[in-house]
Chains A and B, each alone.
Chain A
Amino acid sequence: MDVLNEALLWLNDPLNWTGPNGVVALAGAHLRVSFLAVLLAAVVALPLGVWLGHRGRGAVLGVLVANTTRALPTLALLTLLAASGLFGNTATVLACAVFAVPPLLSGAVTGLAEVDADVRDAARGVGMSPTRRLWVVELPLAVPQIAAGLRTGAVQVLATVPLAALVGGTSLGSIVVTGFGLQRYGQVVAGGLLVAALCLAVEGLLALAQRAVTPAGLRALARSERPGARARRSPVPVDAAAAAGSNGPRP
Chain B
Amino acid sequence: MHRAADPPPNPWFSWTYLERNGEDVARALEQHVSLTLQAIAIAIVVAVPLGALAHLRPRLAGPVLGTTGVLYTIPSLALFAVLAPYTGIGRVTVLIGLVLYALLVLVRGVLVGLRGVDPAVRDAARGMGYGRARMLWTVELPQALPTVVSAVRLATVTTVALVTVGVVVGFGGLGQLMFRGFRSNYHAEIMTATVLCLVLALVLDLLVALAGRVLTPWSRDARVLSGAAA
With A167-B182, A192-B79, A196-B78 in contact, is A73–B175 under 8 Å at CB?
A: yes
Contact B182 A193 (CB under 8 A): no
With A160-B75, A162-B75, A167-B182 in contact, is A75–B167 under 8 Å at CB?
A: yes
Q: Kindly list chain A residues whose C-beta atoms are within 8 Å of the C-beta of B123.
A: 234
Nearest CB of chain B from residue A229's CB, rounded to whole Å: 10
Per-position binary interface string of chain A over residues 63-101, scored 1 when its CB falls under 8 Å from any chain B CB and 0 otherwise: 000010011111110011011100000000000000000
With A195-B77, A199-B74 in contact, is A3–B187 under 8 Å at CB?
A: no
Binds B, one of A112-120, A132-140, A177-185: A177-185
Contact A75 B74 (CB under 8 A): no
Per-position binary interface string of chain B over residues 111-145, scored 1 when its CB falls under 8 Å from any chain A CB and 0 otherwise: 00000001110010000000000000000000000
Q: Would you call the interface of chain B mostly helix, strand, loop, or mixed?
A: helix
Contact A188 B165 (CB under 8 A): no
For B201, the closest partner residue in chain A by CB is A71
> Does B31 lie at the interface of the complex (its beta carbon under 8 Å from any beta carbon of A)?
no
For A195, the closest partner residue in chain B by CB is B78
Nearest CB of chain B from residue A227's CB, rounded to whole Å: 12
Contact A3 B161 (CB under 8 A): no
Binds A, one of B44-52, B80-88, B213-221: B80-88
Q: In the complex, which residues 164-223 of chain B have their Cβ closer than 8 Å to any Cβ of chain A?
A: 164-165, 167-169, 172, 174-175, 178-179, 181-182, 185, 187, 190-191, 193-194, 197-198, 201-202, 205
Contact B161 A203 (CB under 8 A): no
Contact A200 B74 (CB under 8 A): yes
Q: Kindly list chain A residues whose C-beta atoms are within 8 Å of the C-beta of B68.
A: none
Contact B164 A83 (CB under 8 A): no
With A79-B182, A83-B185 in contact, is A193–B167 under 8 Å at CB?
A: no
> Does A155 lie at the interface of the complex (its beta carbon under 8 Å from any beta carbon of B)?
yes
> Does B73 lie at the interface of the complex (its beta carbon under 8 Å from any beta carbon of A)?
yes
Interface size on B, residues (CB 8 A): 50
In which size bucket is the chain A interface?
35 or more
Q: Kindly list chain A residues whose C-beta atoms are within 8 Å of the C-beta of B5.
A: none
Q: How far is the CA of A155 from the CA of B157 in the complex (A)?
A: 19
Q: Kindly list chain B residues whose C-beta atoms are within 8 Å of the C-beta of A180.
A: 81, 84, 168-169
Nearest CB of chain B from residue A192's CB, rounded to whole Å: 3
Contact of A74 among B85, B118, B161, B185 (CB under 8 A): B161
> Does B1 lie at the interface of the complex (its beta carbon under 8 Å from any beta carbon of A)?
no
Contact B119 A185 (CB under 8 A): no
Q: Kindly list chain B residues whose C-beta atoms are within 8 Å of the C-beta of A105.
A: none
> Does B230 lie at the interface of the complex (its beta carbon under 8 Å from any beta carbon of A)?
yes
Contact B119 A200 (CB under 8 A): no
Q: How far is the CA of A106 from the CA of B141 in the complex (A)?
A: 29
Contact A192 B77 (CB under 8 A): yes
Q: Kindly list chain B residues whose C-beta atoms are within 8 Å of the C-beta of A45.
A: none
Contact of A75 among B165, B201, B202 (CB under 8 A): B165
> Does A173 lie at the interface of the complex (its beta carbon under 8 Å from any beta carbon of B)?
yes
23 A-B pairs whose Cβ atoms sit less than 8 Å apart in the complex? A70-B154, A71-B198, A71-B205, A72-B194, A73-B163, A73-B164, A73-B178, A75-B167, A75-B172, A79-B181, A84-B187, A162-B75, A163-B76, A166-B179, A179-B81, A180-B81, A180-B169, A188-B81, A189-B81, A189-B82, A192-B80, A196-B73, A200-B70
Query: A76-B197, A188-B82, A191-B78 provided; 15 other pairs, C-beta below 8 A?
Result: A3-B85, A71-B201, A71-B202, A73-B162, A74-B164, A75-B167, A75-B179, A79-B178, A163-B165, A167-B182, A186-B85, A193-B82, A195-B74, A196-B74, A233-B119
B-binding residues in A (CB < 8 A): 3, 67, 70-76, 79-80, 82-84, 155, 158-160, 162-163, 165-167, 173, 176-177, 179-180, 185-186, 188-189, 191-193, 195-196, 199-200, 203, 233-234, 236-237, 250-251
